[in-house]
Amino acid sequence: MSINGALAPAAAVIAVDVGKSSAAVLVTDVARQRLLGPLDCAMTARGVKDVIIQARAVVPAGLIRVGVEAAGHYHRPLASPAVWPGWQVVELNPAHVTEQRRVMGRRRVKTDALDLEAMTELLLVGRGIAVTDPDPVQQQLAAWVGHRQRRVATRTATKNQLLGQLDRCFPGLTLALPDVLGTKVGRLVAQHFADPHRLAALGPARLVRFAAARGLQVRRPVAERLVAAARDALPMPGAAVARQVLAADWALLTDLDAQIDTADTQLGQLLPQTPFTPLLTVPGWGTVRASSYAAAVGDPARWPGARQLYRASGLSPMQYESAGKRRDGSISREGSVGLRRALIDLGIGLWLSDPAARRYGQTLRARGKTGGVIACAMAHRANRIAYALVRDQANYDPARWA
Tell me: the pLDDT tens digits for 188-222? 999 999 999 999 999 999 999 999 999 999 999 99
Task: Report pLDDT for 60.
Answer: 78
Cβ-based neighbours of 361, under 8 Å, separated by 6 or more: 351, 374, 377, 378
Instruction: Give the CA dihedral 141, 146, 149, 151, nearest 10 degrees.
Output: -110
Is the pLDDT at 1 greater than 70, yes or no? Answer: no
Q: Name the percent of the chain lying above pLDDT 90.
A: 63
For 325, other C-beta atoms within 10 Å of its C-beta total 7
Number of helices and strands in the chain (H, E):
14, 8
Domains of the chain: 12-130 (3.30.420.40), 139-268 (1.10.287), 275-392 (no CATH)
DSSP string, 315-371: -SEEEEEETTEEEEEEE---S-HHHHHHHHHHHHHHHHH-HHHHHHHHHHHHTT--H
The pLDDT, as a whole number, for residue 3 is: 44
Give the contacts of 381 (CB within 8 A, at least 6 positions apart).
347, 350, 357, 360, 401
pTM, rounded to two decimals: 0.82
Q: Say if CB 38 and CB 45 are below 8 A apart.
A: no
Reported as a single tens digit per residue, the pLDDT across 32-46 is 999 998 999 999 999
d(CA 276, CA 141): 11
- 129 beta partners: 91
